[in-house]
Amino acid sequence: MNLPEFLAMGGYAVYVWPSFGLTLIVLIHNVRAARRYHAAAREQAMRRLAASRKQP
Amino acid sequence: MRWTWFHKLASPPHFYRLAGRLTPWFAWPAFLLIVAGLYGGLVLAPPDYQQGDGFRIVYVHAPSAWMSMFAYATMAIAAAIGLVWRIKLAHAVSAAAAPIGAWFTFCALATGSLWGKPMWGTWWEWDARLTSELILLFLYLGFIALRASIDDRERADRAGALLALVGIVNLPIIHYSVYWWNTLHQGSTITKFGKPSMTFDMLWPLLVMFAGFTLYFGAVLMTRLRGEVIRRERDASWLREELAR
């Protein structure tokens, strides 16, 4: 099978590729959002900790 | 039966570190399985005799739909544990699972729509399977919005848990909708009992994708949970030590 034939997906390219593309975007987004969520929580807690040290 | 292991597991500092250690053990196998599943599904699997290459959407659609339900079940079971035994970590699991499940539900609906257009001739049909999956999305969004609207965390936990539990009635409806009502949606390809209605070259990439997506959910859930635990434990002394490291 050659590349153009593979990309054409037997005429279903406009349905197949957006499906796979969208799913990959969602998968990547979920990972990034989770990491941001964790990092933001850490940072917030650190700031809180630093502020509480200044005012005992 | 000794419950010490359970109390240890549910203790925030122990769980925070455990989740961090577990994440790569979920993430790497998930990554490898998804790559293998994509290759198997897009390249190795033969075209379908009726749907040609269009059937390949199943390799992202079915695992997304599976995860949309798996994440909800996780959320609801955790909610029940949180309500009955008053374990805060269980509520954290509930809260962490919701956004991931919502995204998978969106993905299942969108890829289903992209599959429906060429095969059924329509992007959307108000039939049982599609409508119940859309309700699942609204349940997730309702759960997230309800939690966000209540400032007191314990009240938010309890209110969200009740909503999650009431909504679990939707899961069997989604699953059996293709048998209970006349629907455009095809029936199950993989059933627990009886032979799958698919040849092995088509089936294995699908099973690999199911496994990959499930492990992926585990990895993302662990990361989100660590964030949840910090937000809930912000004044605890263990967190001071943990963050100082």
Express each pLDDT in B28-49 by its tens digit.
999 999 999 999 999 999 989 8
pLDDT tens across A10-33, in order?
999 999 999 999 999 999 999 999
Contact A11 B34 (CB under 8 A): no
Main-chain phi, psi angles of B234, to 5 degrees: -65, -20
Q: For the residues B18-36, what does the mean pLDDT come to? A: 97
Domains of chain A, residue spans: 23-56
C-alpha to C-alpha distance for B79 and B92, rounded to whole angstroms: 9
Can you give the pLDDT at residue B223? 97
Nearest to A30 among B42, B43, B220 (CB): B220
Interface predicted TM-score of the whole assembly (ipTM), two decimals: 0.92
pTM above 0.90, yes or no: yes
Q: How confident is the model at residue B110 (pLDDT cuts 50, 70, 90)?
A: very high
DSSP secondary-structure letter at B183? -
Contact B227 A37 (CB under 8 A): yes
B129 and chain A: CB distance < 8 Å anywhere?
no
Domains of chain B, residue spans: 32-43+54-190+206-234
B46 and chain A: CB distance < 8 Å anywhere?
no
Q: What are the tokens at A20? A: 């796979």
Contact call for residues B201 and B49 (beta carbons, < 8 A): no
Residue in A6, A7, A29, A30 to test binding to B, most B beta-carbons within 10 Å: A30
